[in-house]
Structure 1
């Protein structure tokens, strides 16, 4: 029987995978970490844009995507995947503008 922690970890991995597929459909290269639920989108210049999927305590423990460094992006559900893609595009564009 799976523990709650392993179920949450698996849910986080599934959400990262779903986001990776959404970003790939927009033509982005995506690297998904094997060891923890995060992904990186390589940038043309500068460091990659890195997102994590973690529980957010202020939202009752819901899974949320957040940029590395902790800035929350959006809930990690299908309804908000497009919002996360837009946020990643914006961050990449801001880095390209330097």
Structure 2
């Protein structure tokens, strides 16, 4: 059974909050946009790294973390939060080296 749009939006927000909590536990400052399920991690240089939680059609409509500029990260479930943290850290490191 498909979720209602409001349920999907709430689920996306909850997943973004879970990722934000995990990133904060690693010492990162995290900003969350209230209007969208989007978080931003300020970078030492360059723009902040943005992460959204979206439905991914090619994965059966599952919620996935994706970079704001495009690029899938990992399924947006508790088991994959560590993968998303590693991906965000990698993105920040790549920008710092860039």
TM-score, normalised via structure 1 length: 0.96
Unmatched 5+ stretches in structure 2: none
Q: 1:23-42 maps to which residues of 2 (within 5 A)?
A: 23-42=23-42
Aligned residues: 96
TM-score, normalised via structure 2 length: 0.96
* Separation in structure 1 between the aligned mates of residue 23 and residue 71 of structure 2, nearest angstrom: 19
* Separation in structure 1 between the aligned mates of residue 24 and residue 35 of structure 2, nearest angstrom: 21
Q: 1:16-95 maps to which residues of 2 (within 5 A)?
A: 16-95=16-95
CA RMSD of aligned residues (A): 0.8
Runs of 4+ more than 4 Å apart: none
Residues 28-57 of structure 1: CA deviation (Å, up to 9, x unaligned): 000000001000000000000000000000
2:15 paired with 1:15 = yes
Unmatched 5+ stretches in structure 1: none
